[in-house]
Amino acid sequence: MILSMEGTMRKIAFLITCGISIFLISCTAFAEELKPIQLPKPQMDGGRPLMQVLKDRSSSREFSPQKLPLQVLSNLLWAASGINRSDSGKRTAPSAANWQEIDIYVATADGLYLYDAKPHVLKPVLAGDIRALTGHQPFVKEAALNLIYVADFSRIGRGANEEKDFFSAADTGFIAQNVYLFCASEGLATVVRASIDKPTLAKTMKLKPDQRITLSQTVGYPKK
């Protein structure tokens, strides 16, 4: 009876080991399938008058799970912090001393991407859905995407960390407001959030010591 029990336990342990191995192999395969996304050229001829957009700007915490079309995502990211002067590489959002220290990470159901403004591309960072880690509110795991703003202190040319916190907070605010105005123009819902388990999210994103999460912003279609 004891031998039979030991044999059963060994079989269970073997099956668990096999299951874990298959799971890890599957994850690796999935990670390899996550490709860069070349965004279409942003459309510059759309949108509503600025004063109407300012009137309608608001925060919303109710989102549909409907995905954003690639063109809408392209326009959104360009509005957020895209290059609007190709000769200098300067952006739609200002930054102190033109340090451009704020990176935009995009968390979707498929994976985590980093927006690279110069080629207007989403670069794959992490396969898998980490939207639930981008905030404590229940809607973050349902909305189409969550933007994660990350300050890279290594790009800030001067000052102690307190000053770097100030500069990066201001620069994040400029980008977030661009997103708000774009969403108001396009009929999208959005809300900026600070309620984040930053250490856990930073570890998941594999951020470097000089990189600091500043805010997150949920974007999606309004819940019907």
Per-residue pLDDT, 10: 57
User: 215 and 160, same structural domain?
Assistant: yes
User: 116 and 15, same structural domain?
Assistant: no
User: 96 and 5, same structural domain?
Assistant: no
Total number of domains constituting the chain: 2
User: 5 and 53, same structural domain?
Assistant: no
pLDDT in tens, the chain (224 residues): 444 555 545 554 444 444 434 433 444 444 458 899 999 999 999 899 999 999 999 999 999 999 999 999 999 999 999 999 999 999 999 999 999 999 999 999 999 999 999 999 999 999 999 999 999 999 999 999 999 999 999 999 888 989 999 999 999 999 999 999 999 999 999 999 999 999 999 999 999 999 999 999 999 999 98
What does pTM read for this prediction? 0.85
User: 132 and 29, same structural domain?
Assistant: no
User: 103 and 12, same structural domain?
Assistant: no
Kindly report the CATH number assigned to the domain that includes residue 211.
3.40.109.10
Burial of 132 (0-12, 13-18, 19+ CB in 10 A): middle
3-state helix, strand, coil in the chain (%, to 5): 45, 25, 35
User: 164 and 62, same structural domain?
Assistant: yes
Q: What's the domain range around 94?
A: 36-220
